Amino acid sequence: MKKSAEQLAQAIRDKKCSSVEVAQAFIAQIERVNPDINAVAQVDPQRIIEQAKQCDAALQQGQLRGALHGVPVTIKDNLLTQDIITTGGSAAFAKHKPTADATAVKRLRDAGAIILGKSNLPDFALAWETESTAYGRTNNPHDLNYTAGGSSGGEAAIIAAGGSPLGLGTDSGGSIRLPAHYCGIAGLRTSHGLIPSTGHMPPAEGCPILGVFAPFNAIGPMARSVSDLLYVLPILTGRDSIDPYAEYDALQRPQAFTLKGLRVAFYTSACGQSIDPEIEQALNKIARLLEQEGALIDAVEPPALSEARDIYCNIAGADGGEGIKALLSELHYPQIPQNLINTLKLMPKEPSVRMLLDAQLQRDFFRIKQLQFMQKYDLILCPVAAHTALPHGLSFSEPERFAQDHYLIPYSVLGWPSVVIPVGIARNHLPIGAQIIAKHRQDYCALYTAQAIERLLSTEVNAATPQIKKQ
C-alpha cells in the first residue's frame, strides 16, 4: 500500500509482482477501510481481477499497454466510465451506465490503468463536503467525525486511507485542493484547458463542461505524492478536438529545475482574516526551507483577492440557481439536499444580464491585476484554508466558508495551476496542506517546487496511511 503508482507500474513491468497481486491488495484494503469512510463505490472484484489477469497475460506476451499497465486507479464519480455506473453523486442516476469514457478516463485506460471504483462526491459536485444522495456521507480517514472536504472528498479519503494509489478529481472552486488539504494527500488543479473536460457529468453524456461554469473547471490527478502527479500528467494532457476550452498541446516537461533564484510571493493570512497558528507555523517553515535552498521569498499578498468570490458567484450563479432547481425538478428529487440548499444560498438573489456582464468585466480586470503582480514572481505559496478539516456540517457556515474562499476561489477565477501537498499534522491529528500556485500552463514549475518541498520535509511529513479513528 505504500508504493507509489509509478513504483507499482515499474514493479509490474519488471515482473516483481503481478497486476493481479496488486489489484487483490487494493481490493482488500478497500474492504478494510471503506465501511468506515464510505469513500468509494462500484468496486467489483470480479471485474477488477479479470482485467488484471488480462494485463498480466499481455505482459507475458511482451505487450505493454502503457505507463500505467496493470495499475489500479479510482475515478471521481462525475467522470464517465464506460460500463461502470456513474451517478454524479445523484441517486437519480443510480442505474446510469455510460457507453463511453470521459476523455481523461480513456487516457488512463489506454495507458493500461484498471479502474478500482468510483469515488463519492456531493450531488453534482456542488459542495465543499462530500455527502450524496447516491452513496451517503464520506468521512475523513484521520477522524470520522470530520469531513473529507468536497467535492472530491471520496477520492482524497480513499487515497489517504491506502485504498487507491492514484485518482482523478475535478476542481471548479477548490474541489481537489480542499480535500487534499483535509485528508493529507497531494492534488493538482491543472491549468484551465490543459485536460479536456469531455465526459464530465453534468452536462449531457459525452459533452465537455460548457457555459458559465466552463472557465472555472479543471480536471486533475490526486495521489499520495507529487511524483505520481508528475508521472500521470503527460498521460492526461492535450486537446481532444471536442472540448472548446482545451485547445492546447500537451505541456513540455522542463529539462532542468532549481529552487535557486525562484521568485516566490508568500502569504498566510488572506484579506486580513485570522488563521490557525499551526497552519501559519507550518507555512512559515516551508518559506524558510525554500529560502535556505536559494529561493527568493517575498512576504506579500496578491492584490484584490477579496474580489474573486463575488466574481465567481455572479458568473457561475448567473441564473440565480434556476438551472440547478430545474435539474432537480426534472430528476424528481423528493427534496433538495442540504448541501445544494447551502450552495443555492450563495447564488445572486436578483440575477440579471447586466450583473453577468459586469462580473465578466470584473473578472478580466482581476486577471490583469494578477498578471501585473506576477511579473515579479514565478510562484505563490499560501495555505489552502485557514483551518484544518472541519467537523461534518460546518463547511457552509459564514466564518468557515470565508476562511477557505480567499485561498481557493481567486485561482479558480484565474484558471492557474495549483498543487496541494501535506506539510504537517496539527495537534488535533488532522493534516495541514500548503498550496503552490503558478501562472497559466506553468504546471511543472508548481509541481517541481512541491516535489522539492516534499524532499525537504521527508523526515517529518509523509503520506503514511492514517489509523482510522472510530466515532
Active-site positions read: 76, 151, 175
Produce one character per residue of 197-224: b if its CB has 16 or more CB atoms within 10 Å, e if not: bbbbbbeeebebbeebbbbbbbbbbbbb
For residue 188, give every residue at least 6 positions away whose Cβ sits within 8 Å of its Cβ, in sequence order, or none: 176, 220, 221, 222, 229, 233, 417, 418, 419, 420, 443, 446, 447
- Report d(CA 205, CA 200) in Å as an integer: 8
Instruction: Report the alpha-carbon distance of residue 105 to residue 98 in Å, rounded.
Output: 12
HSE-CB for 265 with a 13 A CA cutoff? 19
3-state secondary structure of 175: coil
* Beta-strand runs (E) in 172-278: 186-189, 218-223, 263-266
Give the closest residue to 318 by CA, choosing from 293, 269, 354. Answer: 354
**Other Cβ atoms closer than 10 A to 333:** 17
- Contact present, 453 and 282 (Cβ < 8 Å): no
Q: How many Å separate Cα 382 from the centre of its chain?
A: 17
